[in-house]
Structure 1
Amino acid sequence: MNNRYFLIVVLSACMSAAVAQTSILLTGEKSGSDTRVKVSNYQVGHVGDQTVVSLDFVLDSLFVPSNRYRAFTPIIKTKDGVHEQRMKTLLVTGRTQEIIFEREGIDPLYADNCVKVRRQKGEPQTYKYADAVESQSWHDGADVFVECDLCGCADRLKSDMAYITSLLPPDPYELVEYVEAVPTHAKKERSLHGSAYITFVVDKWEMKPDYMDNRREIRKITDTLDVMVADPNITVREIKIHGWASPESPYKHNEMLANNRAKSLTEYVKGLYNLPANVFAPAEATPENWIGLRAAVEEMDEQTLPHKQQILTIINKVLADLDKNVTNQADRDELSIRSKYPEEYRYLLKEVYPGLRRSDYEISFNFHDFTVSQAKEIFKTKPYQLSLREMWDVANTYEQYSPEYNQVIQTAVNVYPDEPEALINLANVAMHQKDLLKAETLLKRAGDSAEADQARGVLAMLQGNYAEAERLLNAAASKGLNVSKNLEALKQLQ
């Protein structure tokens, strides 16, 4: 190549529509002079409906004779050369050439679309270039060059082309905005339920912890309470015990047994702990457990219970009477089963009735509220003690979408699998990680809030369903959410 022209040396090129981290050096040697130009900080991309090229021409080492000029023209060009679009030309002139342009006009190749700057001889000099043209469909995937005319002759055949970067389609993952769903502050009220099968001496209600399997059954209640009482972050709010008796004795007798046995168990548990007396709710009881009997019979096949349907009819009649507070028919109906179907009754008495005699317990408690720093520590070992809002606060002590942030957001869904805010925030993480299937699954259960609509709109955008994305984003906007950034992103993608 004639040494009048630049020899193009590419130091490093950024291959995306992002800010360049390195520079491209256009160098050429002209006898006795250094004619280098550096291109740096280049950005190529889409803004709205325009394609924008901005870059810095560093002219520190460029030599321009007083009566000459150098021309630099960014050009967008398809790889097959079919399409080409010239952008504004930068003319770097010497002092005399600047005067000539003012008197005689600029060369026709550049006259209609150029900007002039005079080279300050021997001085550091940078020109910040920017130009925008209407976006064309063929721009995506095209290359961006800088045409270098160093002879100042406006002859493209004598100009060289320096590759800058490729103009990539807009990356939707970089354009969209993920909006967090902020959980509200809520009381951390919880409850645990269970059943203990305490055995009492026939027709007695005295609590005997060492009788039969009672010690094991009592531990169902006490093991839970032991953990709660020992944990400074838990306050036991209420303990309820509800007793059930089987229906083989007279109803009034069963009523007396069930009530007294429930009271006996309540008093026994109360004596084991130094808890306020009002924590223990008054004992309750259901004299005869016809509900449990019906459930058991419904599960049986007719080979085991040939008269299953007839027995169910009697049971349903008893339950209908009890719903009306009619208790004087229960004994007669129980006798009807015993007399009409004696073999099946004996089977029920042996295999089903023992399980109907039980004590249901409910322990209600609160987790204490935590500061953010306390919550971070609690999260490491007992995340279930945090409210959804506390988890969200912990997550936001980390950089968004960092591994630590993502772990907290995932744990929030593990602990609160049905909370829309937790599902939306994890869906945002999934979309950020390009796991659209996971995001779609989560958002199916995320409710109909503005944040849910926006998240679904972003998902539709990432899936290329732009009409649905627009509908969902507008729905979110109608509910008061600012979706302007995502609507702008949608406009760029369409």
Structure 2
Amino acid sequence: MKHHLTPLLFLAALQVQATPVGERIIQGIIIDGNGHPVSGATITTSRSNERGATGSDGKFTLRTSDNATLYITCVGYEDLEIRPGSQSTLTITLTPSNTFLPEVTVTSMLHKNMKFIFEPSELEVVKEQLLLKTRYRIPEKRFHKDSRMVIQPYLVNYTRNKRTSFTPVVYDGKNYNILIQRGHACGDPEEQAYYSRFAKVVDGLDSHQLITYTDSCRVDDINDRYATEVYVRISTFCDDEYRDTLTIARGVVYPMRFFNFDAASYELDDSYAPPQQALNFHEKGEMHLTFRPSEYKIYESDGRNSRELDKFRKVLKGIEQDESKSLSYFSITGYTSPEGSYKMNEKLSGQRVKSALDAILRNVRKTTLEKARIEHQGIVVPWDSVYAAMQRDSLTAESAELGNLIRRARGKHDEISWGARRLKCYPLVRDRYLPRFRRVEYNYEYTEFRTLNFSEIDAIYRRNPSELTASEFWRYIRGHAGRPAAEQEKLMREALHHHPDLLIAANNLSALLNREHRADTTLLVPFLTEEAPLEVKINQVVALLQTRDFERANQLCQTLPTEEKTRAVRAITDAMNGRYAEAYTYFGETNSINKAILLLCLRKNEEAREFLKQCPDHSAEAEYVRAIAANRLNDTNSAIIHLQKALSLKPELRKILEIDGDVLDLMDLIQ
């Protein structure tokens, strides 16, 4: 909770601080046309950290740069811009505003001459804060020396069923204060102690003076339904003479909700599209080859040899004849059963595999094999594998017999082979298990660099999108550039699902969502490196601003170079952070709806309306903004006409109408 009524002691402390070179301290008083001090006026400059406010005496002190321009705003008065020049002490007179809404008046418990009057009140969104501005008069002849008056504003969030206290205003009469100082407690002691922290002891209150109140609290969600209620209590000693709760504002004022982000939503061009990459294919399986006993030479007339060898010759021939394909690896591994001498089996197995490999590659061109890795290997299966296979088949007795032999031979292959022939289970081992371990396995890889036309890419997409390369997927998306935004979003999200590193899809999707006020701050996080394209960083700043993550947005914006391309995003950053005057230096040169929105934020309602008369934008959002401008200038009929146009173009804007403090009073008239 941030209270803007600056304590005088704090102001005095500011006056004695050292002033840096290039800066100075300006003091002054702000009064109305009758010479009465104006409290709660806000004084700012073009620098976001230079801000002051008047106290109940209308005085202020502000540290600022030498050539600063002061901007003075206050609820109920026209905005004022002043260039103090060399003056360091100012007297500023504000002109009453003619755009007040009807007063909110409580008469339920007071006589006619004792009305509790709150002038037009606003609940305005500025950055991440809800700023309450109001003015009120104290009822005549109601407050006296024996009284305490408590004025407690609350922010009510109906959406979340939540109530937040603003800073209370408490006035104690002199006699009431004496009662408190003597330790007399009336009612709830905690409540009395709480309000005593804010109490100001006074002789009396001028019922003719308008008292300005300004306070703020953090906003939960700008789309929640808010209202501002004020609890008022007047107590005389221990008796409550008056209690009431009234609503002084409904909805929130936030024209920035219609701010257009198109000016800083950049797509990447096709120079960032990924080049076509070679596809890798890997095939493996088993070859059914037959060799004559004790011979390594392969005879194609034996068994299925001819058919098996021809199968692989055709595969290699197909790779050889297709210019888009390239063989990268080919291997054959031969496994032989363990019976017999280990060295003999190992040598014979290797020779047989080499013979098969030569037969396959005999007619393949050398250029095809130059870039490929060719391997062959012969492996003798150990007796342990036979024992394990018998156990898996639940042959307990037979496997135990072989297992005992393996242990007695201490794993020596040749001794096991000699002893196995004398086992009772050997016929079973010879006929059922040893053939299982005589096999030849193949393994080959090749790459394919394909270039497809759109119809071919479309056919692959319809069959299985995961088969498309990143380059092909992007070409497919580009082929649907004219489709509705929802279809383009679906395709880009699908592309990122299969190719998470597809930068151009992530960036352009982010730009699309930014333009539709549906920012996704997660899309570009993987790509936010120092080398990231400027467009990526700009789109991320806009996404962070839209989701009201101001701290990270400001940090990232500070890393952007100062150039023409970043002017728009810097102006948007100023606008979203409440620096409307700075943002207007850019958007004031444009013909976009943003110019009118900033004028409304600066309370230049007449200028906003005049600009909107010739603004070429007639979207639903633009019509809604026209309604805001008209309603602020009390042109109710025009406001209703523009609102009806906006709702006819975009019925979902009714949800905003229900929470918008600028036009909420027109809702019943619209219905």
- Scaled by the length of structure 2, what TM-score is found? 0.33
